[in-house]
A = this chain, B = another copy of it.
């Protein structure tokens, strides 16, 4: 390989995650040559700012990947499923944020803090980034696993509506504006009526409510998001027998997923040692003095890069288990940031002799 700055394509540049990606590209150390912005034809022609310069969005097409070294896919599953292999066939290393390739045996699923080397083995030329829910907890869990040996996770999520895309945020906004100024005590009916007035990606009102269903029906009572957490944690950690029980619940929060976690390990866990590990793990902030009001909440965490951990305590009945509350911004580490980190590790390959 030659020492040169690789060229980058951002597919889905005009979307919500694309917007965060352009911010990150402007903020991080610049390792890229040309940066090309791509999107569907109807979004092409728009001009967006990246690295301080205006850049026109080009239409997605086969020739759009000519000369591209690394292509980031921040698009819906079906778009990534079609265009990801096209970009790879044209020679680009694809870093994909969709669900299309995450569980493909020939596609590594990468979290740079945990399994960075997996990104080097990519038979299809594609590297996948995990689901935002998995990403909101895996960095903290991975750090503890390295010390204690993870055996079981029981997780319940408090997922932000932006996890369901811009439609999720729009639905929450519409429902909240309808209940504003009403007597909240009589609001459930108002919220139900609001649902009838606009589209919503949720199966029930989400304002002044919680919705225990995320994704699609995966059989036997499970939602697709719950099984994604299970399969992705197993793959990233290299633990095919890891026990995982997940319950995914949307809450009326705009951005940042929270997770209540019961984690059981092969070895005994001293809370003091768990604290030390979390306080020093890359990409993790320990914020844990609840009697002083120090525990992570979405309003603390939104807009930040790390995974925040608090409420760490030993299970009272089991010296090998701890409870925790973990928060991560689903649009940053949960999506754009992890993709950018993977891409930067690929870029480093170009910089080596």
Contacts and interface: CB of A to CB of B under 8 A. Distances in A.
A55 interface: no
B188 A169 contact: no
A325 B212 CA distance: 7
A290 to B, nearest CB: 5
Given A156-B260, A188-B298, A192-B299, A209 B253 contact: yes
Nearest to A209: B299
B314 A210 contact: no
B245 A204 contact: no
A295 to B, nearest CB: 5
A83 interface: no
- Of listed A245, A293, A318, residue having the most chain B CB within 10 A: A245
A191 B271 CA distance: 33
Contacts of A295: 203-204, 212-213
Contacts of A310: 212
30 contacts: A152-B317, A156-B260, A158-B210, A158-B249, A169-B185, A173-B184, A176-B184, A180-B180, A185-B255, A188-B299, A191-B299, A204-B295, A208-B252, A208-B253, A208-B254, A210-B251, A210-B297, A210-B298, A212-B258, A212-B297, A212-B310, A213-B293, A220-B314, A221-B313, A230-B316, A245-B317, A247-B260, A247-B323, A247-B325, A262-B262
Interface string A162-196: 00000001001100110111001101100110000
A106 interface: no
A189 to B, nearest CB: 8
A315 B152 CA distance: 12
Interface string A48-61: 00000000000000
Contact of A204 (B154, B208, B293, B313): B293
A93 interface: no
Contacts of A179: 176
A246 to B, nearest CB: 8
- Of listed A177, A185, A204, A299, residue having the most chain B CB within 10 A: A299
Contacts of A311: 212-213, 221, 247
Nearest to A291: B217
Interface residues of A, number: 70
Contact of A244 (B177, B251, B293, B317): B317
Contact of A323 (B245, B271, B316): B245
Contacts of A313: 220-222
Contacts of A317: 152, 243-245
A254 to B, nearest CB: 5
A321 interface: yes
A180 B182 CA distance: 12
Given A187-B254, A316-B245, A317-B245, A290 B217 contact: yes
Contacts of A173: 184
A40 interface: no
Contacts of A277: none
